[in-house]
Amino acid sequence: MSNEPRLKIYLGDLIYDTVKTNFTLPLNIAYIAAFVEDRLRDNTKIRLFKYPTELEKALKEDPPDILGLSFYSWNERLSLLFLDIAKEINPGMVTVMGGPNIRTGEDDIKSFLRKHPKLDYYIINEGEEPFCDLVESILEKKTDLQNLPIPGCASLNVNSLIYTPIDFSSKNNKIIQPSPYLTGWLDPFLKDPDMIPLLETNRGCPYGCTYCAWGVAALSKVRVRPLEQVLEEIEYVGENSANQKTWIFCDANFGILPRDIEIAKKIREIMDKKGYPVDVTLWHSKNTSHRNIEIVKLLGGLQAGLVALQSTDPEVLKEVGRGKIQFAQLLNILDHYKKENIPVSTDILIGLPGETAESHLKTLFEAFDLGFDYINPYNIRLLPGTHYETNEQRKSHAICTKYRPIFGSYGSYAGRSVFELEESVRSTKYMTEEELNSFKIIHWLIYFGWNAGIFKPILGYIRSCHVSPGKVIYLLARSQKSSLRKLFDQMLEDSANEWFETQEEMESHYSNEKNFQLMVNEFMKLNFLYIARVFQKPNIVEDLKGEIINISKEILIQEGNYEAAIMDLLV
C-alpha cells in the first residue's frame, strides 16, 4: 500500500429534503463507489451523500479532491448549485457529473459544458468504468487534471470538445461488477426508513419510445447482472433494511427474460418470510404477457397492475416509437388482472406527436371501456437526452412548451435558494393550447370521481350497462350548472396560470424571496388542491353527483337500459 494520502472522493445523488416525498437510496453512485473501490481500494477514500445539508457540511469541513454528482430532471439545479459551492471552497477540486438529463450530440455537449464552466467532466450514459478510469488517470497525472482523454467522459479545452463515446452494443451481455449492497456501500441508507430500496437486474431497453430516456438508441441492448448476485442482493436487502414496505426494481422491462420468474420467486420468498415489502414497483416487459402474468401470480395481490397505454391511436403509437409493442399482449395481461381481481391502472399522455384532441378523448373513453380501475393522465415533460426533446422534433411537430415548478423540489442551501422546474408540452400542430388546457377538467374529474372512488359506484354501474364512464365525465365537464361552471372555469384559469412562458421568466419570478417562499409554502398540484377545495364545499360534491345522475339517467333512457330501482339504490 502506498504511503501517499488517498484521493478523497465525494459522490452525491442529491434530493431536496425540505419536503418529505419518496426518497430512494443512491444506488447509482453506490455502483460507482463499489466499482472504484474494487480497482483502486488502496488509493481512494469515498463517501456517499443523499441529503444536501450533509454534503454542504462535509464540503466546508473536509473538502474532497473530486466531487461527483448525479444529474436528473428532479435535481439538476440543485447539483449545479453544489458545483458552485464546491469550486468556491476549492477552485482546484475536480468536478464530475453524470446522468441522462443532457442532450448527447457533440455540439449539445459542448454547449452544455460552455454554459457550466464550474463543471470539469460530464460522463455520458453509464458511469462506473469512465469514472474509475478518470480517477485512475488523476492518480497517475497528479498535475494538470483538466481535459484528460477518458472514453465516456466529456470535457472542454477552450472551444474544443474532448469526448470519445462508448459503444455499448459491443459490450458483453453480462454486467460483471461488484454489488453495492453486498459490499456494504448502501448499509447506512438501508437503515434509513425514509429511503426506498432500489434494485437493478438488467440494463437497456429494446423499445425506442421517443419521450423516454430508457429508449435512447445507445442503450437499446439488454445486458444482465449475474442471477446469483441479484438473488443475493434481494436476500441482503430483506435481512438488512429498515423493513421498508416499498421496493423498486429499476429494470425498464421486468419480465423480458425467462430468469425474471426466478427473481420474482425470490421476492415472494422474502415477502413470506419478512412480511415486507408490501408493494413492489415493477415496469413490466411489453411483449411477454405470459411471463408477466406468472410474475403477478407469484407476487400475489400485493403487486398492483400497471398497463401503460399512453395512447390507443395506432398512428400515434407508431410515431412515438411504441410500434414494436404488441397491443394484444397488453390486453392479455389486462384480462388476467381483471380475472384475478387485481386492481390495474394505466398511464395516458397528452401532447404526443400526432395526438389530436379527438384521439386523446377517444383514448380516455377506451381506457374506461377496457376496464382500468385507475386512469392517470399526465402532461409530457420534455427531457434532455430523449428524441422528442430534440430541436428536430420540436420543429417537426410544432411543439410549444412552458415551465412550472416541480412539487417538493425547492430549498435553501449555503444561504441560496434553489428550485427545479419542468418543461412540458402545451401545444403541438395537432392540438392547440386551449384544447390541451381544456382537458384539465376531464382529467381532474377522472382523478376525483373515478380514481379516488367518489362516484365510482355510479360510473361503474354505467360501465356495466355498456356505456363509457368517459362519456359521462365528458358531458359533466361541459355542464352549465352555475356552481360547477364557476368551479371548472376557475380550474382552467389556474391551470393556464401556473405555467411560465420561458425558463428565464420563471427564474426571474422566483428570484424574488417573497415569491420563492410562496412556492415553498403554498405551491400544490392542482388535482390535490381542487379535491381539498371541493370537500370544503359539500354543495359542490352534491351538485357534481346530481349532474352525474342526470347525465347517466338520460343516456341510459336513450339506450333503453334505465332501471330506476338500481339507480335509486346507487344514489
pLDDT digits (tens, 9 = 90+) for 26-65: 999 999 999 999 999 999 999 999 999 999 999 999 999 9
pLDDT of 383 reads: 95
Cell of 215: 429508449
pLDDT of 5 reads: 80
Output DSSP code: residue 364: H
pLDDT of 143 reads: 60
Q: Which residues contact 444 (CB under 8 A, 6 or more apart)?
A: 491, 526, 527, 530
Q: What is the Cα–Cα distance from 161 to 532, expressed in whole angstroms?
A: 52
pLDDT of 571 reads: 64
Q: What's the residue count for the chain?
A: 571
CA distances from residue 341 to 175, 299, 333, 338, 371 in whole angstroms, order as listed? 38, 14, 12, 5, 11
Whether the per-residue pLDDT at 324 is higher than 70: the answer is no
pLDDT of 108 reads: 96
Closest CA to 271 of 297, 302, 295, 292: 302
Whether the per-residue pLDDT at 190 is higher than 70: the answer is yes
- Is 444 in contact with 530 (CB distance < 8 Å)? yes
Q: Could you tell me the pLDDT band of residue 3, with boundaries at 50, 70 and 90?
A: low
pLDDT of 522 reads: 87
Angle at 404 between CA 400 and CA 405, to 5 degrees: 150
Tally of CB atoms within 10 A around 524: 11
pLDDT digits (tens, 9 = 90+) for 277-302: 998 988 888 767 778 888 888 887 54
Cell of 16: 431536496
More reliable by pLDDT, 289 or 201: 201
Of the listed ranges 309-313, 425-429, 563-567, the one predicted with least confidence = 563-567
Q: What is the Cα–Cα distance from 329 to 381, expressed in whole angstroms?
A: 27
Closest CA to 197 of 270, 297, 125, 298: 270
- Is 98 in contact with 123 (CB distance < 8 Å)? yes
> Mean pLDDT over all residues of the chain?
91
Output the CA torsion 503→507→509→510 (10° steps): 130
DSSP per residue, 455-515: THHHHHHHHHTT--HHHHHHHHHT---HHHHHHHHHHHHHHHHT-BSSHHHHHHHHTSHHH
Tally of CB atoms within 10 A around 382: 19
Q: Which residues contact 113 (CB under 8 A, 6 or more apart)?
A: 119, 122, 154, 155, 156, 161
pLDDT of 1 reads: 42
Q: What percent of the chain has pLDDT over 90?
A: 75
CA distances from residue 27 to 178, 185, 267, 519 in whole angstroms, order as listed? 12, 9, 18, 30
pLDDT of 293 reads: 82
DSSP per residue, 538-568: HHHHHHHHHHHHHHHHHHHHHHT---HHHHH
Closest CA to 86 of 116, 124, 58: 58
More reliable by pLDDT, 4 or 69: 69
Section 391-416 average pLDDT: 95
Tally of CB atoms within 10 A around 330: 21
Section 144-165 average pLDDT: 88
For the chain, state the CA radius of gyration.
Answer: 25
- Which residue is associated with the grid cell 426571474? 508
Closest CA to 74 of 54, 101, 56, 55: 101
Residues of 281-291 as b/e, b for ≥16 C-beta within 10 angstroms? bbbbbbbbbeb
Angle at 179 between CA 178 and CA 181, to 5 degrees: 150
- Strand 121-123, strand 160-162: pairing: unpaired
Q: What is the Cα–Cα distance from 61 to 334, expressed in whole angstroms?
A: 55
Q: What is the Cα–Cα distance from 300 to 365, expressed in whole angstroms?
A: 29
pLDDT of 50 reads: 97
Section 424-449 average pLDDT: 98
pLDDT of 290 reads: 79
pLDDT digits (tens, 9 = 90+) for 333-357: 788 888 878 888 999 999 999 999 9
**Burial degree of 418 (CB within 10 A; 0-12, 13-18, 19+):** buried
pLDDT of 283 reads: 87
Query: Quick one: which H or E segment has residue 374?
Result: strand 374-379
Question: Residue 425's beta-bridge partner residues?
Answer: 401
- This prediction's pTM: 0.93
Q: Is 147 left (phi over 0), alpha (psi -120 to 50) or beta?
A: left
Q: Which amino acid is at 218?
A: A
Tally of CB atoms within 10 A around 415: 6
Of the listed ranges 202-216, 404-418, 456-470, the one predicted with least confidence = 202-216
Section 357-384 average pLDDT: 95
Section 320-330 average pLDDT: 72
